[in-house]
Structure 1
């Protein structure tokens, strides 16, 4: 085991010296191969040592069995006593010790093991024999059991700088970095080309009802059209129901008070009472109500549309530094006897805002 470690350490030192002094890759590869071959030889030696130990154990077992057998055969001899400690025989009358020996060569050759007689005197040394021929390499033995991991060795000296490697492939794109500080203002660019027309915007809020225009000239009588399809039966609505009103908020001072409109554009059906500011439903159906506010700069006002004296919807107009206009529409089904009114919730101290309120029976 020590020889194997010494061989590996020696070869590692030789390999390191060659690599430091020569920088020759082919020599390094050759030494790597030689180290691999020596490691294989050490493994083969371990396999052979394991086989010898196994044969020695079998030889010892056979020797003990043989001694017990000889002890059984000599039980009838009066001059000897048999001991059961490893099969040793101690004669009573003989002066020479009877010690059976085993022939290792006979065991390795596969022959039976025989006991020999007493040990003779040492013979003279014979002349040295001629050197035998080198035999052919034997077959490769089986791989031995993997040994226990050894302790970590000492840190070796720092090696020389390696050769410059080949240029690697382009790496993946990294994560975008954080935004840098704001740069200085650049030069004024040239005027760009005129852009395309933008998309049509959303419809604006409904405007105020204008004054009635002049009566136009009578047109020519048109051709008689085809008879239309028969319509579905209509509901009894009692005629057209609608109103359009206007009032200023300067004279209204108490919060929670109904607005009384002093300008009446129309009141079809007379369902709206201007004196109380309350609309009473007499024809059940779907109604649409529109409330519009215009305020001056630095003014703020908030109104609500109440259904049966309970807040239904509210609207807020805040002029800030400029004039502002806000509109709100709400629709719902009214039953006979339901009431609709506009109530002041909040306003600035000196508000000269104007309120427009309209209602229509839709269906």
Structure 2
């Protein structure tokens, strides 16, 4: 009777042991790291925070692997992990060479815009008195003057006539040419001129004082029963080689100037007031 009681207990123990072995052997084998994917949270399921943030490395360590299984390749992860590369740093100051020679000077650039004038600076210190210079040349004075007259009357013609003079009162340096009746300017500057004539009764008196070929002033008197003295005076600025002379108007109307062989009724005078070099 006692043997019949022990057999069932041993049979139960052996059956449980067999079931445990079968359950272990029947478990599906999963290679480590092969098809592993990181756990994704299920919005409908409530998990503990610690299980949701579980480290994948812990999952790998918890898996078993049989020694008889062949070696497998390294796991291929769907998400690449960052790779770090060590970059050596070189101190450039150690590799600095010796200073080279200076290059050639480049061309000058374009001039910039001139800036605004700055404020006036303070007065400098008074310098020492210099040495006396050499004596200069004495001041040079310039002179030019003439005064001429005519003792013959002159009547108008079909053309203009130059009034030629036959009497010379003053002709400094012969600047007035008695043959042409013209004054030639040798010293540029400001000159004064004066013309005096005696009119002929019952005739017009019509003369021009000319500068080169340009009319500068007129002396005119209308016909009258008596003769009168008529004058004209003015100043001119002359350049070198300018000519000043008197011209009788042509005979569109009868005009004339009176004079005789005994007295001088016609005079023409001029002189230099100030030379251009002294202005």
TM-score (norm 1): 0.33
* More RCO (CA 8 Å, sep 6+): 2
TM-score (norm 2): 0.42
Q: Which has the higher strand share?
A: 2
Q: Which has the higher helix share?
A: 1
